[in-house]
Amino acid sequence: MTQGKEDDHVTIYSKILLSFGTGMLRFWGAEAATSRLSLAWMSFNFEKEMSISDNPFRECLEQLAKIPKESFDSYTYIEDISHLVYATTLLDSFLYDTTLFLLLKFPRTMSVNRQVSFDTVLSAQSVFAVINETASKKAREVAFSTFIERLDYLNEKFGLEIKLDKDTKKALIHYPSIRNTAVHDQGVFALSLNDKGELTSSQKTCIKHPTRVSAEDVSSAVKCYGAVVKLVAEAIFFKVLKVEEHQSLSLLR
């Protein structure tokens, strides 16, 4: 990328936005399907006098009738968590791709003292292969930080001047935290040793819903993530690529 034309870099970064945008369309499609399936189940259960036997959609209605309230509750719980996980992963991927893009465009921003293994140098086909591997490792290393820390890194290293308001910062801490808990801990009981050294257990969360996630949480998280992507993308186009406006930005908005 360091040898390419600036127009090529604009096209390449547009593909990163396309990847995020396509993911969001997939998210909204899944959300719409979930909402309609839920509406169908609820409508069926509210129509107490509905006759299934002589209904032209009898087979479909029979399947709805087989879904008990407890199963539907489990379905909505897992769906909300899944949507939050997916939306957060889209932001995660976008920031990783953006970081890698900038590292490859400006390889000198990587620490001059960064060590590259001798094996890497020997096995590399060219100096650019070494840069590729080093940049990938650095991007993965940055990806272990929080979203706010990753944005700070982009500001510090590449002068993006991305500014987040108080509510956005709070959301960037809160919703990824819920995502991490949902992914890594669905346990209901906490284990510990008491003062006598005896192994004990105590309930730490709701048995039915270990991680509380609502449709409103998902909506708020997606709104926050979209705002962050917009800020980052505009900073890349305006400050790095020196492009005042671009079709991919319009589509993102």
| Cα–Cα distance for residue pair 42/22, rounded to 1 Å | 30
Cα(174)–Cα(221) distance, integer angstroms = 9
Q: How confident is the model at residue 178 (pLDDT cuts 50, 70, 90)?
A: very high
C-alpha distances in Å from residue 137, one per residue of 120, 134, 140, 161:
12, 5, 5, 24
CB 172 within 8 A of CB 228: yes
**Which is more confidently placed, 237 or 58?**
237
Residue in 101, 132, 102, 100 with CA at minimum distance from that of residue 116: 132
pTM of the model: 0.86
Do β-strands 199-203 and 189-193 pair in parallel, antiparallel, or remain unpaired?
A: antiparallel
Q: How confident is the model at residue 143 (pLDDT cuts 50, 70, 90)?
A: very high
The values of phi and psi at residue 83, to 5°, are -65, -40
Contact 230, 93 (CB under 8 A): no
What pLDDT does 117 receive? Answer: 61
Residues 34 and 21 sit within 8 Å (Cβ to Cβ): no
Report the first-to-last Cα separation within the chain, whole angstroms. Answer: 27
**Encoding tokens for residue 116?**
């590259």
CA distance 74 to 36: 17
Instruction: Indicate the average pLDDT of the chain.
Output: 88
Distance, CA of 175 to CA of 184 (rounded, Å): 14
**Which letter does DSSP use for residue 109 in this model?**
G
Please give the pLDDT value at position 3: 43
Query: Per the structure block, which two tokens stand in for 203?
Result: 């309930």
> Which residue blocks in 195-246 are alpha helix, DSSP H?
215-235
Q: Could you read off the pLDDT of 15-42 as tens digits, one per residue?
A: 999 999 999 999 999 999 999 999 989 8
Q: Which of 211, 225, 184 is nearest to 80 (CA)?
A: 211
Q: Return the number of other C-beta atoms located less than 10 Å from residue 182's C-beta.
A: 20
Q: Is the pLDDT of residue 185 over 80?
A: yes
pLDDT at 113: 53
Per DSSP, the residues of 124-150 read: -SSHHHHHHHHHHHHHHHHHTS-HHHH
Regarding predicted confidence, which is higher, 52 or 67?
67
**Which DSSP helix (H) or strand (E) runs through 177?**
helix 166-184
Evaluate if residue 249 carries a pLDDT over 60: yes
